[in-house]
Structure 1
Amino acid sequence: MYNRRKFIKLSSISASLTAISASGVAKSVLHNAPANLPIVISTWDFGVAANKEAWKILEKGGRALDAVEAGARVPEADMNNHSVGRAGYPDRDGHVTLDACIMDEQGNCGAVAGMENIAHPISVARLVMEKTPHVLLVGDGARQFAIEHGFKKEKLLTPESEKAWKEWLIKHEYKPIMNSENQMPGGKYNHDTIGMLAIDAKGNISGACTTSGMAWKMHGRVGDSPIIGAGLYVDNEVGGATSTGVGEEVIRNVGSFLVVELMRQGYSPTDACKEACKRIIKRKPDTSKEIQVGFLAINKKGEYGAYALHKGFTYAVCDAKKQDLIIPGESFYETVKD
């Protein structure tokens, strides 16, 4: 005969055992943290300079959150980088709009999107996280918030970016280029988003993601970069993930959250990134052949990996043993012929 009291008692015991088991796992992970911690990884070749700045904090025992913010500010300030920060290419109406998000080991997060006239969106995103009850501020509201907190309002459209925009207006064609979402003058190209993930000496994980978005986008367009769960996600018990490429497809699959959840199930960082790419291909088989999306992930042990739809995606790694290491990410269309 069904005994409700007995069922509740047994359920309570089971829940207690589960909690004890989970606690034991968490302690084990921290206790067995590998010697390569701290570590910082980031997307694309320009992640090398970002990692160097982040490493200055990590090697002194600093917090991962401080490291990823400092690292992300490097490409934001780089006047030769036309896909991140103050020198970013504008939208089709000539507006330079910036997006960024940040997330710490406690699950706190902040973001800004479509923000104009402020050079360091990653630092504004951190203030949103720490100074407001919100997660995301956009447009004029984000700019107003930044100015109220001491950020300088400045013109972000540089002469070089304006020249490239006016050249683009002649044909007025919007077609993202594989691995090179933003075309530079003279036929050169530049990559897009920088996503960073770091684990500090205490084993805590934080992440950051910042971009000026795709060049010549529609005014008001926002990609995955400032969207928690899409462009970036961190779970301190499991790991973190970030993405790069055409943000619309990442948003549709909540890509970075998916990668972290797959790692929770036991997938390696590389395999989790690969599975997230497969989801994009399954939903948009034709579209995926024409666009690039890449994922980068790290687990609690400090193991890292990446995968992309197409070859050409790279990422940078920095720890006590490896400095300035650039690794080509594996890709689906390069390795799978069907």
Structure 2
Amino acid sequence: MRITVLIVMLGALAASAASASAAASGPAPATAAFDAASAYLASPAAHVPRPAAIPQPRDNEPNQFQASLPIVINTWPFTDATRAAWASITTPSTSAVDAVEIGCTVCEIEQCDGSVGYGGSPNEDGETTLDAMIMDGITHDVGSIGCIKRVKSAISVARKVMEHTTHTLLVGEDATRFAVSMGFKEESLTTNNSISIYQSWKAQNCQPNYRLDTLPDANTSCGPYKPAPNTSNRGSSRYHTSPRINPAVGPGNHDTVGMIVIDANGNVAGGTSTNGASHKVPGRVGDSPITGSGAYVDNNVGGAAATGDGDVMMRFLPSYQAVRNMEAGMTPTAAAEDALRRIAKFYPNYLGALVAVNKQGQFGGAAHGWNFSYSVRNSTMSDVTVFSVTPLDAKP
């Protein structure tokens, strides 16, 4: 009963989010998705404990969860985001794009696992910056923002890029300036928690970090850094024999929310939101806002979304690869596994994961280097189901 009431309530708010984009006299376009997400988080459904994860069925195993539309799937057990998106997409007046924006906004407000939204993953200067993207599978239109500062609603700013410019990606201070021009509030993303994380890192001589070949030695010291002598020859044999892996990457500091939504008519949308890598070099943009890496959708096929070591993964566009694999006839699970194996061929120690869903509503996930779980809701489920995935490189 509570879930039914929530769907009705969020339906009205999601409808207002959709109409706000079209009506100048409606609610401020910068806050419509935020209002819908906030309404969900104020409801009893937001306080339901995360369900225990169940093992993902293999393609050749019996599966009680049949392919069905509409469907919401997202990385990690961020179940409030899944429920909010489901409540939106089951309302006739809202679109898959609306549902993605609302679902990711919930994670931004909740600061999912400290890796999404404000107050997490401070950079080398102690500042939190945000990356996000949103994509429409009907038109292949994309809006992305990278390294945006002092604006909390990253996914909504990305949507404004998609709807109010002919560009795909805006970054840094100019992305902030764009957001303010679109009606978003400029405010600090720093919290007591992010200050504590930063101070603890500084007290540990800035370890770990993402620097290479510097003076002072980044393995033992904080900056400011300069290039060490005789280390700037990118053509040297070192770079051909030792792929650059991020030693600072690990569970808890690369947990992007990546979400794919398919509505009852088969229209697909995808999105991502993250505060990136903890202690990153200022100015760094990860894979989340990169089309085809963080997420990719195609109305004729389905969609995929990624999480993990973005500096490695963006070199291979795994979400795009997974979608193309499904187009070639692979199941979502096989498509995701193949996309990750292509990366592991060159980076056997990287951490990454994918979720994928085809236009029929079949879904699956894959992981490499770490334990991974993802959340799904469709009409065959009474609530969100969380699936655990065994890493491809796990030893038997």
After TM superposition, give the deviation of residue 334 of structure 1 in Å: 1.6
Deviations 1:121-169 (A, max 9, x none): 1000000000001000000111001001110000111011101110111
Tell me which residue corresponds to 1:27. none
Aligned amino acid, residue 150 of structure 1 = G
Tell me which residue corresponds to 2:282. 219
Tell me which residue corresponds to 2:69. 37
Tell me which residue corresponds to 1:18. none
| Residue 358 (structure 2) aligned to one of 295, 299, 307 | 299
1:329 aligns with 2:389: yes
Tell me which residue corresponds to 2:315. 252
Identity value in percent:
40
- Alignment gaps of 5+ in structure 1: 1-33, 182-190
User: Match of 1:214, SS?
Assistant: coil
Tell me which residue corresponds to 1:173. 207
User: Match of 2:198, SS?
Assistant: helix
User: Match of 2:333, SS?
Assistant: helix
Tell me which residue corresponds to 2:130. 98
User: Match of 1:297, SS?
Assistant: strand
Aligned amino acid, residue 110 of structure 1 = G
1:314 aligns with 2:314: no
Aligned amino acid, residue 308 of structure 1 = A
Aligned amino acid, residue 296 of structure 1 = V
TM-score (norm 2): 0.71
Structure-2 change in CA distance of 1:282 and 1:113 (3 Å): same
After TM superposition, give the deviation of residue 92 of structure 1 in Å: 1.2
TM-score (norm 1): 0.82
Pairs within 5 Å for 1:5-24: none
- Farther-moved stretch of structure 1 (124-133 vs 70-79): 70-79
Instruction: Give 1 or 2: higher helix fraction.
Output: 1
Q: Is the 8 A contact 1:77 1:87 kept in 2?
A: no
CA RMSD of aligned residues (A): 1.5
Pairs within 5 Å for 1:273-284: 273-284=336-347
Q: Is the 8 A contact 2:135 2:143 kept in 1?
A: yes
Alpha-carbon distance in structure 2 between the residues aligned to 1:70 and 1:317 = 16
Q: Is the 8 A contact 1:99 1:121 kept in 2?
A: yes
Q: Is the 8 A contact 1:311 1:329 kept in 2?
A: no
| Residue 264 (structure 1) aligned to one of 296, 316, 327 | 327
Deviations 1:71-103 (A, max 9, x none): 000110115642101122210111111000000
| Residue 64 (structure 1) aligned to one of 93, 96, 117 | 96
Deviations 1:235-274 (A, max 9, x none): 1101111100100121111111111111111111111111
Deviations 1:14-49 (A, max 9, x none): xxxxxxxxxxxxxxxxxxxx8721110000012x11
After TM superposition, give the deviation of residue 176 of structure 1 in Å: 2.9
| Residue 207 (structure 1) aligned to one of 270, 278, 297 | 270
After TM superposition, give the deviation of residue 179 of structure 1 in Å: 2.5
User: Match of 1:223, SS?
Assistant: coil
Alpha-carbon distance in structure 2 between the residues aligned to 1:218 and 1:211 = 16
After TM superposition, give the deviation of residue 276 of structure 1 in Å: 1.0
After TM superposition, give the deviation of residue 277 of structure 1 in Å: 1.2
1:73 aligns with 2:105: yes
Q: Is the 8 A contact 1:44 1:316 kept in 2?
A: yes
Deviations 1:192-214 (A, max 9, x none): 10000010011100001010001
Tell me which residue corresponds to 1:188. none
